[in-house]
Structure 1
Amino acid sequence: MLKNKKILLGITGSIAAYKTAALVRLLIKAGAEVKIVMTPAAMNFVSALTLSTLSKNQVLSDLAENNSWSNHVMLGRWADVMLVAPLSCNTLAKMAHGICDNLFTAVYLSATCPVIAVPAMDEDMWHHASTKNNLQIIQGFGNAVIPVENGELASGLTGDGRMAEPETILKRLEAFFFGQNQLLEKKILVTAGPTYEALDPVRFIGNHSSGKMGIAIAAECKKRGAVVTLILGPSGEEIPAGLQVIRVKSAEEMFNACMSVFDHTDIAVMSAAVADYTPVNIATDKIKKSEDIFSVELKKTKDILKHLGTIKKEGQLLAGFALETTDERNNALKKLAEKNADLIVLNSLNDSGAGFSGDTNKITIFDKNGGEQHFDTKSKKEVAVDIVNTIIHLYYA
């Protein structure tokens, strides 16, 4: 599973660093190529000579050594994944707050590859509020965390804080690389953001959608090997590299863009907040303030999800979203049936941490087979993982 995979192992200052010799041996035996970068504190716990012998690569710890510069940028670009094991409480805080004071943190902050962290610390440190906060921060950045285990600690206590065993880490890495290929070459359409329905050359009817949720879903699909087309309404959010992006403004433009690619799509995820109505007439000039009461005649926009539900072919999967404020569950189930969707992602404006613009969401997923999954409030990147996992499970069922 790890044959020819490039793994950059970051080792920080924890007594659990002694386990990294066994971890490197397992990685090499699994066929991986391993390069190692250590913090100065880590070198107090495990020998660089031992690790360089096992990895067959020079272990790096200084930004400059013997008049030679360690290229931290290229290290982070070389790797398929950066594995931080063990991750100490101190280095966790640096990762969370962007402190760059050694080679390891320089590599981490410039890495373009996924990062998997394996914490190790004493129980009281592990349960401290600042540690929990820092873990949430780095997970919000998109980093994965392999949980600590319960057992004997260096302090002599028994409790939470042990670094996961090398065999456990190896299995998680294998699952990570397998997960990257679950959607390999699948063509996926994702819509995101709002639509703006013009009233005149300067005004429009719109909503507060930022596009963050849909962009996160598109990025997660891309990470798992898919060829992703993102149809994006007006949004100022940063777009991850590697996505094919079609920019639109109105509901009509979004409908036409979806129709242009849907026939060749394996999976479609309709997460955009498309306007239900659009003005019948659009003024050619700016509307002046004159009347005390001003009325606008509206007409229904084309129902993109429903139309795709009527034309989808066998083998295509269609997912929709339902943002509700009342009778949420029944409205979501009604939408699932009426739109002929395979699954509906429900979020409610009544739930704290859910809805437009924010960085978190809370969802429930209903599928055509009667499945109902409830998820806690999470970052939108984590929610995207839950949604994509559910889509994959249903697609291959």
Structure 2
Amino acid sequence: MPGGVNSPARAFGAVGGSPLFIEHAKGPYLFDIDGRRYIDYIGSWGPMILGHAHAEVIDAITKAAEKGTSYGAPTEAESRLAEQIIEAVPSIERVRLVNSGTEATMSAIRVARGATGREKIIKFSGNYHGHVDSLLVAAGSAAATLGAPDSPGVTKGAVHDTIVLSYNNVDELRAAFDQYDREIAAVILEPVVGNMGCVPASKEFLVSLRELTEKSGTVLIFDEVMTGFRLAYGGAQERFGITPDMTTLGKIVGGGMPLGAYGGRASIMEQVLPAGKIFQAGTLSGNPVAVAAGSATLKILKENPPYEQLEQRGEQLATGLAKAATDAGVTHQVQRVGSMMTLFFHSQPVRCWADADQSNREQFANYFWGMMGKGVYMPCSQFEALFFSQTHTKALIQETIDAACEVLKHPCFQ
């Protein structure tokens, strides 16, 4: 495997050293192959909102697998999951299941272009939407960490119609619409960015986006692969009260299994084959085992919503980390939305990629390994948000804060 991993975010390239190999996980914990236990703040990069190996989800997966792992034909379970998504997410009237978040964003862009008859798209620097050629421009997360926001192999033609703007910059956004207006097929963004650290969109930015896209006839796409079902049952759009035209989903919607989805207004989605002419297909889309995991997860989240508890734990952790850094005299910013959070080693609030890029990477690496030594597994990049689950108790959060207090007092932070 290139670099010994199947995704660059796992390679510890931003912090040095060798990645841990995980043997199993349960609840809020990861266990490596050497038998060490860690409080997990990655949660498989977001999906494990219920905690690892949740009994009801595992039971659903097991029962589905016993019936067969793939049919290549429609199932009732696919329709049930589609109904759950449509009920939960304000913007989705029709939905198509796919196999990943990357596939969801790739498909949504194609559908937006096909539906509008336009070619240009707008994305924002530091927003990562998967390894789609037209979107792999000024990306955050692993691409930023490795210093390759424009990947070799992505042709000039592939990004020719991609306009890259600064996140949260309303003036720049308005200027782009003044210049291109009726040429813009879609604007895609993370309403809360998780791939340059946790950076929320401002209310003014979101309202301006909705107004400008409506006026121009441009499709507004919320990439809720991370935020969907995490910040609220209906995602960031429910939390912020902004309804996009299309939404992409992944991670939680598949209960940790490889599954994604994209959907939106019926007038747009009815143009997808076979109802319309825009091509998109997938042999394993709607895989019965993945669908079972996702459906079970959404059922639990609806019947026993954990969001109030997650908000309380998030406030506890954010306050505790900020105090630990302040007491140690460490320059920092803690940014949080719900159960997404980042401790930035930065002196000012982070609103865009240019801000995030000024963070002290060396201090973050020292923090990461210090916390790892205390049995706390944080994201291995300054530019990845942390996630926690409903199984993270007050006591575990306090244990994490206590670890941070010790780590941040080390002379390397002075």
TM beyond 0.5: no
Normalised by the length of structure 2, the TM-score is: 0.28
More strand by share: 1
Structure with the larger helix share:
2
Structure ranking higher on relative contact order (CA contacts 8 Å, 6+ apart) = 2
TM-score normalised over the length of structure 1: 0.29
